[in-house]
């Protein structure tokens, strides 16, 4: 396992930039697993309309944070030639401002240029979302 990466190092590996870079830190990665952190803050632009008076992190952005974390699972799934093929996402409970998301992605199977990845998002050890992703390595 490799040690933590901050935003500058993350941006060297991912093409995403503000406001679509959705992981703040990669806590550890390697050996078919990556764990990342996302701090959910009220200052994020999507909270203006999602939803006024009761802000929640849009589920599609939770899924995107999982996909960004998956880029650190193994060799060959980062960079401009890698892309998400499919995602089966289930939201278990909302994520709200003040939450700190812990996103875990694990390699399940590799077949050719495709990888099957299982991911979870937790807040305080409580499940927020889970997904099965298929990622192309180019």
Kindly list the catalytic residues: 50
Counting every residue, how long is the chain? 138
Cα(97)–Cα(102) distance, integer angstroms: 14
Which position has the token pair 């992703």? 133
Q: Quick count: other Cβ atoms within 10 Å of Cβ 7?
A: 14
Phi, psi dihedrals of residue 69, rounded to the nearest 5°: -65, -40
């Amino acid at each position: 396992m490799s040690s933590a990466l901050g935003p500058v190092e993350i941006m060297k590996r991912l093409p995403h930039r503000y406001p679509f870079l959705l992981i703040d830190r990669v806590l550890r990665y390697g050996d078919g697993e990556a764990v990342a952190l996302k701090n959910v803050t009220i200052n994020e632009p999507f909270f203006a309309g999602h939803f006024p008076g009761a802000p929640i992190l849009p589920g599609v952005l939770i899924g995107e944070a999982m996909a960004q974390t998956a880029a650190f699972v193994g060799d060959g799934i980062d960079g401009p030639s890698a892309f998400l093929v499919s995602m089966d996402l289930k939201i278990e409970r909302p994520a709200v401002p003040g939450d700190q998301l812990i996103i875990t992605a694990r390699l399940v199977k590799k077949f050719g240029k495709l990888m099957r990845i299982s991911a979870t998002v937790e807040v305080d050890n409580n499940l927020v979302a889970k997904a099965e992703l298929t990622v192309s390595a180019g």
